[in-house]
Amino acid sequence: MSIFLYKKLPLNTFLFEFDNLEKAYGRNRCYICFKLKPIHAVGATGTTGTTGSELWGYATNKWEVADGIPRESPEKRGMHAEEPLLDEMTRHVREHGGASFCIEWFTSWSPCDRCSGLLLHWLRDVGGGRHRLRVWFSRIYRGNVGAVRAGLRHLRRAGVQLGVMDRRRHDNCAHALVDAARGDPTPPWHINVPRIQRAFDEIMDEKVREPGWCWWCWRPWWLADVPSNASLNYP
């Protein structure tokens, strides 16, 4: 895993990894471009105030080196990109006390069932309901797996603004978080968006009996496969 703080994703990596192909051959890594911005609150005087500070960059589950220094420990290899990013977000929000943040992710793959559970866990136990989370994805990860589909529905029902990266969101990500100084960050890839949107709408509209609690460990389904000793830096 690698996290690059205050660095933009290289353009060639963005164009390859975020391409919303139906058969995404060779794209077996997940990249997340992210930004955390403090929520502006209007006080009693009517003035707008800002608390905390911004955090942005990108994360990937590909082991990389930043400025000659590995950005992960060997024991974290094999983790999904969401896991170290949630750790980094935890450190940031705790450094800024009671500040509330608007968190936006642009990710090459939608979350798996386990990472959906970790996101819900983070919003509940670390975020405390103070933060707004938006997750835009280029492709649906394992969209034919029931647990993955259920995880996405639970994120939506928990208030996460979850959706497909359309042309506008693709451009927002490219212009803010991609190093596009040497090329065009917006190729005509949007023709595949309707297909992905239809698949996502089908997942959201699916009428199934959602799993509740895991019978063998008496934990919510989204934490059933999270080890009790998982290193997430949460209390």
Q: 115 pLDDT band (50/70/90 cuts)?
A: very high
Residue 231: inside a domain, yes or no? no
pLDDT at 102: 94
Q: What does the pLDDT read at residue 181?
A: 63
| Model pLDDT for residues 61-85, shown as the tens digit of each residue | 866 554 544 454 444 556 789 999 9
Q: Is residue 60 part of a domain?
A: yes
Q: Is residue 230 part of a domain?
A: no
Indicate whether 35 belongs to any domain: yes
Task: Answer yes or no: is 46 within a domain.
Answer: yes
53, pLDDT greater than 80: yes
Q: Tens digit of pLDDT for each residue in 159-194?
A: 999 999 998 999 899 999 999 766 666 666 778 999
Specify the number of domains making up the chain: 1
Confidence of residue 1 (pLDDT cuts 50, 70, 90): low
What is the separation of C-alpha 106 from the centre of its chain, rounded to a whole number of angstroms?
6
Helices then strands, counting H and E runs in the chain, come out as 6, 14
Contact predicate 152/203, CB 8 Å: yes
Range of the domain at 78: 2-223
Question: Parallel, antiparallel, or unpaired for β 2-5 and 31-38?
Answer: unpaired
pLDDT at 10 over 50: yes
Token pair of 72 as six digits = 């992960």
Residue 229 domain-assigned?
no
Find the DSSP H helices in the chain: 11-17, 82-95, 113-125, 146-157, 167-177, 193-205
pLDDT at 209: 55
Give pTM, 2 decimals.
0.79
Weakest mean pLDDT among 97-101, 147-151, 209-213? 209-213
pLDDT (0 to 100) of residue 214: 46
Q: Which DSSP string corresponds to 185-232?
A: S--S-GGGHHHHHHHHHHHHH-------EETTTTEEGGGTTS-TT---
Give the residue, 98 or 181, on which the prediction is more confident: 98
The DSSP output letter for 57 is: E
Q: Is residue 215 part of a domain?
A: yes
On whether residue 228 sits in a domain, the answer given is: no
Of 2 and 36, the one with more pLDDT: 36
CATH number of domain containing 50: 3.40.140.10
